Structure 1
Amino acid sequence: MRPERRHSVVVIGNFDGVHTGHQKLLARAREQAVQWADDQGPLPVVVVTFWPHPLRVVAPDKAPRLLTDLSDRIDLLRRYGADQVRVVQFTREIAGWSPERFVETILTPLNPVAVEVGENFTFGKGAAGTGETMRELARGRFEVDVMHLWEVDDVRTCSTLVRQAIARGDVEQAARHLGRSFRVRGVVVMGDQRGRDLGFPTANLVIPDDMAIPADGVYAGWLRRLDERDALLLPSAISVGTNPTFDGLERRVESYVLDRTDLELYGVEIGVEFVAHLRGQVRFSSVDELIAQMEVDVADTRSALGVA
């Protein structure tokens, strides 16, 4: 005889960035999981998310730059409370489903006792389904809890707001709504090696066009190797842009780890966290002028990060 499926508490959404609003939704799901505990303990919290972003499928020209790649999204969802993460491969076929088919195909197999959604969540063809629609479809089978949008400093948190803050270089506001510093990740590539010649060797990342990246300029932040489980956060002065002093064309994230010229990071995956915006990008008239400014940037980085 097949054992009865265990119930679950389901949280569903895009969750790009896994910002503070998403974190509150997950916290509420954890509370529900305890409330509905069975003889095995709290119910599992199952997060349903979509990849690629639905707009990438239905309106590619309107698709936003993403705050996190899928790997980071899954890691963050687990950090903030998910026991399981189910990734739905979003397609044009799914985009055309009715709200009824969406519920029966995506949610019913998870055997939920409760489903948590944000008030701006929509589903089904033409985004016709809302939280209230889901409540009607779930009547008598499972509860649907619709959470109001979270606010930070009296401003509603959403992925769009975080993207806008990052695009203008306001990484401090982005961090307040993310609940952590904004991070980019990638494999270190060989650059022009001018930084090494100038005494400021950098780890260079080329960020995919579909990922969010701060406005051109210089930032204080942290670099961490992602291939070592207990790798330290290293204080870094971070440049974003094309390096106009040398007529650069490719937009990069270049991180100089303070006081370190011995790091060998080529081919290593790293994460770069942005803590504070220091200045905009400038074209310098000479290498000496650039070096003088880099020394100022390093001092400002120390101050912003509170390191000696």
Structure 2
Amino acid sequence: MSSTKAALKAINDAIRNKKWDDAIDQVKNLIDRDPENYQAHVFHAFALDKKGNYPHAEEAYTTAARLRPNDPQSWQGLTKVYEKLGPKYLDQYQKAALKLAEIFRDADDMYKCQDVIDKFIDFARSQGDRCQYVRALETILPDSPIYPALEGRVPHPAKTYETMAQILEVDEKKRINTLIGERRTRLGAKLSQVTQEVNREVLSQSRLGDIYHQLTVWSNDDDIRRQYEEKLLQFRYDLLVALPTSEKSAHLKVVEKLANDMVIINHPFKLAWDIAIEWQDSISVAS
């Protein structure tokens, strides 16, 4: 035990003096003798990080985190390494940030808990692409394990969902237009068929329907809630039209309910009234 303490002290001294290679050599010797030594792996990762060897630093911090999953040191190191590795590692960064935030939450340190998440979201917004930023925002939504601790410290869910909706609306419209433009040049392609095919592909994978629904649940502004009720009905209707006949049945009931709920409260949205008046006995929407 005394030899391990002496080895850790020597490694720490090397790190304090910025002798990274010396520290790495010494820590490898210690890990050979004591592979389960948590602090040795943390020192190893730190020295590798300072050398600019970020992939191996990630491995060392990950090993340390397995040894002591609830110690913040290794997770703090991982978040810093993932920032240096860049946006390709945003998914890993998100997992590490959530774990670190949970550790601080359990320690009742709400300032550090929030700071971890704020830094992660800021990084995703500034360094990631738009889809990555949308995924990052999930960390402050009610389904996030950390949300109960951060409620009142982060934007209201309606604000977050609205930000996500605005991003996805632009991106999906652009994707639809791009795909239609590419596929309509195919030999024998008909614009109507291509449009339906692309809409089916994009809308079936879209998260906008769920986000619009959440906005109708969480928004405290009646005008905004009505706006997203309209968008939700339009989205579900467009998806219904794009789907093949064999898949329409379940979606038809959803669209009818959304429309009828609007009509009951006299909401003046033309599509809702058209559906309520013209659709009878679940008439199938034309393919």
TM-score, length-scaled by structure 2: 0.25
TM-score, length-scaled by structure 1: 0.23
Larger Rg: 2
Higher strand share: 1
Higher helix share: 2
Which of structures 1 and 2 has the larger relative contact order (alpha carbons within 8 angstroms, sep 6+)? 1
